[in-house]
Each structure stands twice: as C-alpha cells, then as structure tokens.
C-alpha cells in the first residue's frame, strides 16, 4: 500500500529520520548495557555461590573477609592457621565432611611464568568434596604435577603452565563461572605448600607462621541436614582464633550488596524509558504538524483515514526498529567493554548470559522500545488521520 511512500520519506529525508534514530538508539544502548550488566552481575553472583558448594567456611579469626572476597577474590591474604583445626572442627556435632585448603598466589615474574597474579588453591584430594565436582570429566585424583585451571588462565606450550618457576600439566579446564574461580589454579595441597614454601617472595611469612606443611588457610565444611549450619557456625566462631562464614550469610551479604545496585539500575531504566517516550512524543507531534499539508493532499487524493494512520505508525515502526537494533548492538559492545574493564580493576563477579539468552533479552528490549514508540506515535497518527484535508491544505500553504 503506502509503504512506498513511507520508505521514500525515510530515505529522502535522512536528516529527519536519523535524528529520531539517534535518540532512540542512544536510549536503547543505555537500556541494553545497564540491564545486561545487572543481569551479568547477578548471574555471576549466583553462579559463584552455587559452585562454592560448602555450607560453612572456616577462616583464621584475623582474616578480613567480605563475601565477594571469599567467593571471588583473586588476591587472598596470606593468613594461615594450624592444620589441627581440621580435627577440632570435625568433632563438632553436625559436621559431616571437612576438607582443608591452602591458598597462595602466583606472583608476577619475568620470563615464562603467568602474566598476572592468580589464586593458587591447594586442596586435599583425600577429603575434598568440591574441586573434583567442579572439574568435570577428570574423574581421578591429580598427581603432584597436575593442575586444574580456571577458564581465564592462559596455558601455553600445549597444556602446561609455569607456576613460580615450576612447570605443571593441565589436567582439566573449568568452564567460565564468573568471579575469581576463573582465575584460580587448583593443585593438590602438598604441591601448593611446597610451591609456596620454595617461593622466594613468601619467605617472610613462613618465618612468622611456621612451616607451611603444618598450615592451612581455610576449612570447608559440609553439614548434616539435622543441624543448622548457622548453629555450627556459631560453635566454630566460639573457638578462639577461628571464624565461620556460612553460605546463608554469604548469600545474604551478597544480596544486600546487590540490592542497591539493582535499584539504581532499575530507576535508570525507568528514567531512560520515560525520556525515550517523551522525546518520541515531541518528535511525532511536531512531525504531525510538519506533515499536515502532505496528509491533507493524500486525503484529497482519496487516501482513507486508516491508510494515513497506518502509514504514520509504519514510519515510526521502521525508524524505531532500526534505531533500537543499532542501539542494542552498541549497548552490547558497551557491555563487553565494561566486562573487560571490570575484570581488570575489580573482583566483582561478572558472568555474561549466553548467546541465546542475550538474543532473547535483546528481542525483548527491542519489543519494549517498539511498544514505547507505538504509544508515542498512536495519538499523533490518529490526529493526522482525522484532520480536515481542506483546512490542512490551506494552513500548510501559509507556513
């Protein structure tokens, strides 16, 4: 029908259309990037909590902790406790499994080592109930020269990494999980201790704390269902020198941190939506005035009201569809940029939804933008359809 007219109008008045496109695209980009960012962060937080898999984490009492550090940080503090803690804790009623971990880190070294700092986690293959579950498909204990590495750690020379000067074989890679686990190297606890002990950078610590063979960083506990983890956590915290963090508490802390963030994002989203609606409303109202004469002519030549109505809606539909598509792509680009930035400067969990989720989300957003634009165009389109053609024409002549 009059699509030809719509198309020529868009193409031959590029400046007019591109202004609208610019406004809508900018708003879409802002919407897409902020919403997907929120989603990625919530995603990351959830996945980090899920993969944690322990009910209680026991740390030395001096260890500062914040939830994202415990779960995600790439730079654990070098604070240790005596290995006997594990026996002490195991005796508590309701503790089903307890496994020690020994944290350290790789340090920047010249030639042939890993380029960044990574978290080195030694786990006890005998009592472990977490790491083997994380690394799917290995199905056996690691030997002393093997490691499991997070998805963001670059291996080189085939499947090998060099940690503090020693080469290791990579037995398995973890899937991207978001958070620090992607930058973690899991090794048998003996290896971790040995590597740490030999590191020239860590000697001072061993002078103070003793031989790493007798030290652990944390105990991960699985509780029996009959006793609440909170009560066990309380019991452990009462032991001098120890501190317990329960999964429930972690979840709560994390949620609290996210609440503020989430509400900021949603307020922004509402504001952006309102701005889009308002600017489209102004745009279409003035467009309606600009086009009075043309619409009058069409009506005189016999165009029906609903042809005019559809024509104006179609024009807005095409413009806004183009705009929100471009804007979404741009927003996605921004998101990837944020992601890289966040990875560099913070330990915040960030796990982008997978492609199909992104596609669905973007389609939803584009749809929402279209609804907004239809809302904005509806009234002007109706007004245009109902103008008095003769009057519109003579008024048009006078402008």
Partner 1 sequence: MQLKLSKVSHQYANKFGEVIIPLQDVDLSIDRGEVLTILGPSGCGKSTLLFILGCLLKPTQGEVVIDSIPTYRLVEDELAELRSRKIGFILQQSVLLPTLTVRENVLLPLWIGPKPFNKKSAEQKVTSLLEESGLLERAKFLPHQLSGGQRRRVAIVRALVHDPELILADEPTAELDDVNRSLISTWLLELADKGKSVVIATHDPFLTGVASRVYTLNKGLLLLKAKPGKSHEAL
Residues in touch with partner 1 (CB under 8 A): 1-2, 4-5, 8-9, 12-13, 293-294, 296-307, 389-390, 393, 396-397
Q: Nearer to partner 1 by C-beta: 355 or 398?
A: 398
Pairing state of beta strands 119-123 and 184-188?
parallel
Output the smallest distance, CB 24 to partner 1, in A: 21
C-alpha span between 316 and 381 (Å, rounded)? 10
Identify which of 193, 185, 133 has the alpha carbon closest to the alpha carbon of residue 160.
185
Identify which of 221, 123, 120 has the alpha carbon closest to the alpha carbon of residue 162.
120
Q: Nearer to partner 1 by C-beta: 311 or 351?
A: 311
- Helices marked H in the chain — which ranges? 3-12, 14-52, 67-72, 85-90, 131-134, 189-198, 203-209, 229-238, 247-290, 292-300, 305-345, 355-385, 389-398
DSSP state of 44: H
Identify which of 215, 231, 216, 218 has the alpha carbon closest to the alpha carbon of residue 92.
231
From residue 247, how far is each of 196, 251, 256, 362 by CA, in Å?
28, 6, 14, 33
Beta-bridged to residue 105, according to DSSP, are: 119
Output the smallest distance, CB 383 to partner 1, in A: 15
Q: Nearer to partner 1 by C-beta: 16 or 109?
A: 16
Q: Nearer to partner 1 by C-beta: 17 or 246?
A: 17
Output the smallest distance, CB 381 to partner 1, in A: 16
Output the smallest distance, CB 301 to partner 1, in A: 5
Q: Nearer to partner 1 by C-beta: 141 or 388?
A: 388
Output the smallest distance, CB 299 to partner 1, in A: 7
Q: Nearer to partner 1 by C-beta: 7 or 266?
A: 7
Output the smallest distance, CB 298 to partner 1, in A: 7
Q: Are 168 and 161 in contact (CB under 8 A)?
A: yes
């Amino acid at each position: 029908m009059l699509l030809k007219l719509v198309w020529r109008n868009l193409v031959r008045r590029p400046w007019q259309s591109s202004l609208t496109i610019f406004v809508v695209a900018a708003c879409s980009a802002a919407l897409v990037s902020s919403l997907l960012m929120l989603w990625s962060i919530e995603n990351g937080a959830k996945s980090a909590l899920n993969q944690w898999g322990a009910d209680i984490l026991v740390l030395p009492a001096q260890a500062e902790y914040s939830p994202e550090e415990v779960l995600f940080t790439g730079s654990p503090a070098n604070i240790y406790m005596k290995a006997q803690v594990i026996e002490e804790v195991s005796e508590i009623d309701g503790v089903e499994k307890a496994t020690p971990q020994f944290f350290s880190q790789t340090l920047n070294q010249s030639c042939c080592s890993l380029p960044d700092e990574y978290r080195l986690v030694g786990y006890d293959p005998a009592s472990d109930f977490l790491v083997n579950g994380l690394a799917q498909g290995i199905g056996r204990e690691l030997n002393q020269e093997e490691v499991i590495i997070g998805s963001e750690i670059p291996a080189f020379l085939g499947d090998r990494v060099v940690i503090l000067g020693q080469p290791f074989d990579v037995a398995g890679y973890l899937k991207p999980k978001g958070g620090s686990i992607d930058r973690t190297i899991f090794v048998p606890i003996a290896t971790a201790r040995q590597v740490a002990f030999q590191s020239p950078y860590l000697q001072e610590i061993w002078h103070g704390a003793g031989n790493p063979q007798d030290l652990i960083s944390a105990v991960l506990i699985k509780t029996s269902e009959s006793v609440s983890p909170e009560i066990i956590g309380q019991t452990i915290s009462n032991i001098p020198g120890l501190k317990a963090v329960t999964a429930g508490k972690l979840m709560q802390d994390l949620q609290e941190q996210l609440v503020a963030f989430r509400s900021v994002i949603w307020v922004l989203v509402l504001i952006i939506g309102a701005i889009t609606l308002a600017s489209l409303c102004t745009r279409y109202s003035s467009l309606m005035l600009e086009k009075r004469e043309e619409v009058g002519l069409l009506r005189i030549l016999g165009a029906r009201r609903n042809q005019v109505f559809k024509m104006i809606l179609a024009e807005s539909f095409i413009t806004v569809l183009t705009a929100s598509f471009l804007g979404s792509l741009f927003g996605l680009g921004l998101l990837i940029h944020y992601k890289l930035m966040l990875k560099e400067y913070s330990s915040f969990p960030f796990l982008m939804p997978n492609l199909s989720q992104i596609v669905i989300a973007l389609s939803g957003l584009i749809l929402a933008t279209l609804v907004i634009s239809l809302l904005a165009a509806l009234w002007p389109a109706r007004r245009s359809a109902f103008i008095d053609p003769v009057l519109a024409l003579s008024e048009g002549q006078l402008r």
